[in-house]
Amino acid sequence: MAKIAASSASASTSTTGKLVLRIKSNEGMKRSLRQTKSREETKANQNKSKQKIDAEKPKKPPTAFFYFFSFSFLREDFRKEYQQQNPDVKSMRDIGKACGEKWKTMTYEEKVQYYDIATEKRAEFDRATTEYNKKKQNGEYEDTDEESEYDE
DNA sequence: ACTCTGATTGTTTGG
DNA sequence: CCAAACAATCAGAGT
C-alpha cells in the first residue's frame, strides 16, 4: 500500500497550482545543487540589508519534508538520540539521510501534518507571487515580459 | 576568522 | 510532460 494517493487533504484545497503527483524513479536526480543561498545571506549581511526586500521574488516556501527536517532538529530527542546511536556521525548529511528514510517510512497521516503546513505556506507564497506580479505590472523592474509589446 | 559545502525530499517554475 | 533549481538546517572543512 504505501501509495501516496493524490487525493490528499492538502490536495482538496486545489490551490491555483495543479498538483501533479508523479512517483518516478528519481534515483538519478542530480544532487549537485549549488546552495548559493549561503552567499546571498552573507552578501545581505555585508550589505547590512537586514530588512528583506519584498520586491524580490518570493522564495519558495519550505516543503513538508523541510518542516519535518527542521522539526526534527528542534526535537532534542531526535538529535541527541541520533548522536548517541551514531556518535561517529558528524551531523548534517547523515541525519538528513536518516530523516529522508524515516520520512518515507512515515505514514500518510503522519506526513499530512507537515503537508498541511506546507500547503498553507504555499497559499501565502502564491499570494506573494500574485502581489509580486502586480508590482511588476507597475513597471518597476527591468523584467520586460514578452507581453509588454503593444503598439503605441 | 570567515565562507562554503554537504544531503534529504518537496514544491516551483520554465521550456 | 520533463528536467533543473531551489527551499532550511548546522557543523565541519577549506582558504
The tens-digit pLDDT sequence of chain A (152 residues) is 544 444 444 443 333 333 343 333 333 344 333 444 445 555 554 444 444 455 567 778 899 999 998 888 777 777 777 767 666 666 677 888 888 888 988 888 888 888 988 998 899 888 888 887 777 666 555 545 555 444 44
Question: Which chain B nucleotides are covered by protein, judged by CB under 7 A?
Answer: 2-13
pLDDT given for residue A13 in this prediction:
38
Q: What residues make up the domain containing A73?
A: 59-138
Provide, in whole angstroms, the distance separating residue A16's CA from nucleotide B13's C1'.
14
User: Does A114 fall in a domain?
Assistant: yes
Residue A52 lies in a domain: no
Residue A5: strand, helix, or coil: coil
Kindly report the CATH number assigned to the domain that includes residue A77.
1.10.30.10
Asked if the structure places residue A151 within a domain, the reply is no
Determine, yes or no, domain membership for A96: yes
Residue A116: what are its φ and ψ, rounded to 5°? -60, -45
Whether A44 is in a domain gets the answer no
- Please count the structural domains in chain A: 1
Distance A149 CA to B7 C1' (A): 44
Residues 40-79 of A with CB under 7 A from strand B: 42, 45-46, 60-61, 63-66, 69
* 3-class secondary-structure state, position A78: helix
| CA of residue A46 to C1' of nucleotide C11, angstroms | 22
